[in-house]
Each structure stands twice: as structure tokens, then as C-alpha cells.
A and B are shown apart, each in its own frame.
Chain A
Amino acid sequence: MANLNTKWRRENTYDAIVVGSGMTGGWAAKELTEKGLKTLVLERGPMVRHIEDYPTATTDPWDAKYPLGRLPPQEVKSHYPVQNRTGYALTEYTKHFFVRDDEEPYTEAKSFDWIRGYHVGGRSLLWSRQCYRHSPIDFEANAREGVGIDWPIRYDDLAPWYDYVERFIGVSGKKEGLPQLPDGVFQPPMQMNCVEEAFKAKSEARYPDRRITIGRAAHLTAPTEEQLALGRGKCQNRNMCMRGCPFGAYFSSNSATLVAAERTGNLKIRPSSIVTSLIYDEKKSRAEGVRVLDAETGEESEFYADVVFLCASTLNSTWVMLNSTSKRFPNGFGNDSDQLGRNIMDHHLGVGAQADAPGFEDMYYSGRRPNGIYVPRFRNLGDAASARKDYIRGFGYQGGAARPNWSRSLTGGGFGAERKAALTQPGPWMIRLGGFGEILPYTDNRATLNHAVKDKHGLPTLTLDVSIRGNERAMRKDMQAAAAEMLDAAGFKNVAPYDFGYSPGNGIHEMGAARMGRDPKTSVLNAHNQVHECANVYVTDGSAMASASCVNPSLTYMALTARAVDHAVSERRKGNL
């Protein structure tokens, strides 16, 4: 052991270690390596190289193995019963980017849809690419309303980092000048279609406070020199993003941050490396590095660094910390507050309204826009007009109008030449608005370590116990009603409010399990994403969130990560780590 330890010290020492290679791991790697730190990225899954490891990126429909690319029911049942719960994401074209549920067990104390991809790039390959800034209201709400704990930062602390991230990743969108949805550094917006334009005009005339804008999405519409130099190109409107983009047109770790990191010469990526715990030096009160289990060989090893970034996704970073016990941290790493694993949030969805949009039969569109329209939050903005008595916080809508193709009628409409002719024409215009609502932090919405259920490596697993409450349920009623009102105001027909129900996790925005805060007694991380009790460990994925806002969170995670690296490198230079 002593010899092994010496060997490891010699061979396995870096300036920085990043755990995870997804949305935030990629950013940590880019920033650390660009600032000159020799950086090791540990990824529990296999390598996915940009373009060459996107095996289905250009598969035409007729080369599908299965009807419509839908997996055989038996395969779903055996391997993907949870991953399939999104209803859209898992297909033969994408299954290699999702975990097999039978190999990655966890326990649902209450229904929780844990949708995951274990590979280099993580869910940055699979995300919906929507990019919205948290607003000043979002950062102030907890303190103002006495919910959870106060964020230790404000919008102004993060604003320059939003700029920085947006400039690099490329976000297409339109400036709207709304305080509840700050504008950013945008590439040209994508177009709305005819029905969306009509909806905007008519609904805004009736409800001027409910702005309708094109989605802000991480797709290049006018690539910068920097983006072109990384090998990225303009969005081709194929809308096959989740298979991986051979044009590098949407942002992913694989197409952008890891490429930039690699070019510094300071990056080492080690796939198949499951970080099982942090190594804590009781004497120096700092982390020495991490313990790693090789997912392929089962071999255990250690890696050392001056600073460790946990970017393994909310629940997996939480797992690593819960599994990192020591004399100093008997209940999990940096868990003096007992908040580690608690306050898990997501965005609740599956609720809204849809309608038919007659009157545009002679109009259509060309190209498959990988984006929709967006209605920024218009409730509880601080003024009397938007205040609700029945719930706090708010929601936004994502939606769009389209003419369904032949797949609108797989079993109906008779048979024969007439049906065939009908299906060769686009179907009637439909429009839908789907809500994304804020979930409050509840201390008993939590993940705990389960030693009774072990994974295939013999490691303990998580038990997830998360539910929504009265505030979210009241909000859902309004999410339906307000969507229906808007569609109605636009003159659309057969307006149908819906609530398909929501299972926590289904927003795939799980966050909050190691929240930032001002007080070590009530939070795990400080204002710079450092573990309060261990300065050289930073956690910069969704774990850090003190509140959820109602907007898609990845942009905020990336901005927090870039900001935290800046802090870490400066602290290291000063000898404070």
C-alpha cells in the first residue's frame, strides 16, 4: 500500500481535478486549463468524441432499425423503465446516451424520474438548449419571502459571467428589456412561424404583460471567430440534436468546452473513472484528492490535486459527498449543516393548454427549427398587478405552433388512396403552451445514502424522497388557466387546458442538494461555491442552487462554474487553498 501510494503520488497528481464532464465539468475544465492549471477530468462513463462518436447523427428515417426509431417494448421494460419516462427522449437514436436503469439502481421513496447519461459530455449532449438568465427577483425572493435561505449572491455578481458564458457557447435570442428575464449576449434570433406571429400579436394586445418571444437557445445562428476556430458551425435546422450535432451547432462539452480545454495542452480526461469519495486530510483540513474506481477493471486508485471541482450533476455530486465520511465529516463531506442532500428542486411541468389554429391553411414552413417560443414569467413580479394570492413565485411557458405531418394519424382515417393523399399534406395547425413552474426548496425533499441497495460495483445508492406541495399545485391551476386564456385571446379554436401530472425529476432540472448560502449552519457552499468547511473543494453543478427560478438552469450552472474557477485560481495563487 505504501508503495502504491508513492506511485500514485508521483503519477496521479494534478493542479486540479474535475469530477464530471457534462455541462459544468466541461466549463470547469476549460477555465482551469486556460488559466494554466494541469487538470484531470474524471468521467464515470465511456469516452464520447465529438462527431465520431455520434453514430446516429445522420441516420435517415429509412435506416431506422425499429419503427420510428422507437425501442422494442421489452427493451424499454428491461433496461430503460425510468429513462423512458420523458416519453420523447429515449429512442434507438439516443439510447447510447442514457444509462441503463437496471445497471444504475436507486430507490424511489416517492416517484422520481432520474434521467441520466453517463459518458463524456453527460447531459450536455441531451439538453433542450434553452438559455435564460435568473433575474434579480430570483436571487432576492428567498430573503424577501422568508423561504429557504438567502442566496449569498445577487444578479449583479453573476451578470458578467452570464455575458462570458453566452459569448462562448453562443445563444440565439431576442432582447426584450424585461426585468424578470434579463437580456444577454445574443446571436440573431430564430424566426417565429405565421401562427406564432399571429399569436404574439393578438395575445399581447389582450395581455400586454405576457410577452411572447422566440426561445433563447444555445444554437449558433451567426458563429463568432472563436466558435468557428473550435470547429463549430451554424445551426442547420435538422432538429436531431440529441443524437449529437455533426455541425457542432449547439453547445455541448464535446463540441466546445472540452475542445477548448484540450487545445491548452493542460487537459487529461480519464473515462470509466467513478469517483467514490473525496480524500480528506484531517491535519491540513483540506481535500487531498479523490478515490476512483475504474468502471471497467474494478481497480481502485487515488488522484491528488490542489483543488477539486465537483461537477458530477446534482445527485451524483451529492452522492460523492454523502459517501465521503471521515472523522471530521461523519455525516458526509462538508455536511455540518445537515443540509447536504436536502432541498432538492426541479421544475414542475406537464401542464398548459393547446388549441387548433385555423385560418393559415395555405402557409407552412421550411426547416426543422430546434427551438420554440417562450413566454417569460408574468406572475408575482413585485407589483400589485401581477401579484397572486394563491401562490408565490411563477412560471414561464415554452411552446410553439406546427402542422403535424403523417404521424398525426397512424391508426385513424380509414385506409386507401384518400387517406394516403390526406397524409401527404400537412395537418391542421396546432399550438401549445407548456408551463415550467418554480418549485420551492423543502428541507425534507431529500436524497439519502442507501447502504441496503448496492450498485453493480458494490457501492451504496441513493434513495430519493421528493414531492411538490400546495404552492406548486395552486400554481399548476393557474398555469392551465392562463395558457388557455392566451390561446383564447388569440382567437384559436378548441382550446384545451391540460394537466398530464408531474413526477419530480421529470423536468430533468434536479438541483439544490448542496445549496449556497451565507451561513455555514444552514448551507453547504459559500458565495463562491466553496464547501464552507473545506476551501479547496468547489461544487458548481445544480447542487449549489438556493432556489430554482422557473427558467432552465444550465446557463446559470455554467456561469456559476466559470465564476468559481476564477475564484479558485485566484485563491490558489494567493496560497489560500
Chain B
Amino acid sequence: MLNRREAFAGLALSFGLASDGIVGQAWAAPAPISWTPKTLTPEQARTVDAVAEMIVPATDTPGARAVGVPQFIDRAVGTWCDAGQAKLLRSGLDQLDVDARAAHGAAFADLAPAQQTALLTRYDTGGDPQRPFFSLLKELTTIGYFTSKTGATVTLRYDPVPGDYRGCVPLKEIGRAWATS
């Protein structure tokens, strides 16, 4: 189910309306996250919940939050990442809140979408020290999303048992990329 923030983010992107002023006025406090982290702190989990949805937002198909990507990342930090990666993710999430408070006086999850976008754009493009963190988080979010059941079967096309191989098929007949290769 879309909450207000997602609905607004969708609109902002559709109409190019995003600006601090308008977003700020329309903004209401986000709901607390609906899951209990196993590895991350509650604050880190709330941040990851917000960032993942910024990386893969709900559009005409569900976004990262709806398919459980934040939980996927929480699990990956606990069971998959090596010590260096886990530290990079934890400290990066903490730093994200530090940067959010410094710039806008609130935790990242509580910022307006345009403010969140601006901060993540800084991480994504410049020589910001948070770039390696954002890169790893983006990787895990992307994997978590497109390997989720919804990501693979709704956003993409997935066929566990294709049967035949057809080498030359018009793309429009398939519509979207195959989830697995």
C-alpha cells in the first residue's frame, strides 16, 4: 500500500514539481517501519528503509520497500557481508543521518523526498566520502529488488522452466527484460 510520501514522490517525479518549498509544505511525518531489524539498529533500519525506496521507488510496479528490500539488506549485513562491508554500511547509514541533520535538521527518513534526493545525489556523483557506502547499498538494493519475487515476476519477466529457446523474438512480444539469464 502506498503511503503519502510514496504517492507524493511519484507525483513529483511525474510532473517535475519537486522543490524544497512545495514538498516541505505537503510533508507529513512518515510511519515507523513495519519490520524488526535483526542486525541493524532501529535507526539504521529506518534509514535503510527510506534509502532503498529512493533507489528503487514504487512506480507502475512496487518499490523496494514493498518487496522487502530493507529486510534483505538487514539480513545481508548479518549473514553475507564481510566485516569491512558491514562496517561500511552501518557507519554509512549513521553518517547519512548526521548529514541529514546538519543540512536540514532532521533524520534522513524524516526529510522531504527532494531533500533526500539531493543528499543521495551528492553521494552518488561527487567525490563525497559516502560514495563507497552508497555504491554498496545501491548494489544490495538492486539485487534485493530484482531477485525478489515481485521484482522478478512483476517488474521483470521470469520463467522458471522456459521449455523452448527461441533465438529471435520481437522485444515487444516479451515487453521487459528477463529476470535471470
Contact = CB atoms under 8 A, between A and B. Distances in A.
A255 B7 CA distance: 53
B69 to A, nearest CB: 11
Contacts of B33: none
A516 to B, nearest CB: 38
A405 B178 contact: yes
A87 interface: no
B167 interface: yes
A194 B174 CA distance: 15
Given A66-B79, A368-B180, A420-B59, A411 B135 contact: yes
Contacts of B168: 191, 193-194, 197, 363, 365
Contacts of B80: 66-67, 70, 72
A194 B167 contact: yes
A365 B169 contact: yes
Given A66-B79, A73-B82, A424 B143 contact: no
Interface string B117-156: 1001100100000000001101110111011110010011
A224 to B, nearest CB: 19
Chain A interface size range: 35 or more
Interface stretch (B23-31, B98-106, B158-166): B158-166
Contacts of A411: 135-136, 138-139, 142
B170 interface: yes
A72 B86 CA distance: 12
B141 to A, nearest CB: 8
Contacts of A193: 167-168
A576 interface: no
A386 interface: no
B177 A424 contact: yes
B107 interface: no
B93 to A, nearest CB: 16
A417 B147 contact: no
A8 interface: no
Contacts of A73: 81-82, 85
Contacts of B136: 411
Grouping DSSP codes into helix (H, G, I), strand (E, B) and loop, the A interface class, with mixed when no group exceeds half, is loop
A362 to B, nearest CB: 5
Interface string A55-93: 000101110111110101110000000000000000000
A62 B148 CA distance: 5
Contact of A67 (B135, B143, B160, B162): B143
Interface in B61-75: 61, 72
Contact of B55 (A66, A361, A416): A416
A218 to B, nearest CB: 16
A369 B59 CA distance: 32
Contacts of A68: 143, 147
A501 interface: no
A73 B86 CA distance: 12
Nearest to B10: A417
A74 B168 CA distance: 42
A207 interface: no
B181 A61 contact: no
A415 B165 contact: no
Contacts of B163: 236-237, 367
Contacts of B140: 67
Contacts of B178: 368, 405, 426
A419 B146 CA distance: 13
Contact of A61 (B81, B147, B166): B147
B3 to A, nearest CB: 17
Contacts of B139: 410-411
A190 interface: yes
Interface in A412-466: 414-417, 419-421, 423-427
A420 B56 contact: yes
Interface in A206-240: 236-239
Interface of B: 10, 13, 54-57, 59, 61, 72, 76, 79-82, 85, 117, 120-121, 124, 135-136, 138-140, 142-144, 146-149, 152, 155-156, 158-174, 176-181
Q: Which A-B residue pairs are the 10 nearest by beta carbons?
A: A367-B165, A191-B167, A367-B162, A193-B167, A61-B147, A426-B177, A410-B139, A194-B168, A237-B165, A73-B82
13 contacts: A61-B152, A62-B147, A236-B163, A237-B164, A238-B161, A239-B181, A363-B168, A366-B174, A405-B180, A411-B136, A414-B121, A416-B13, A424-B177
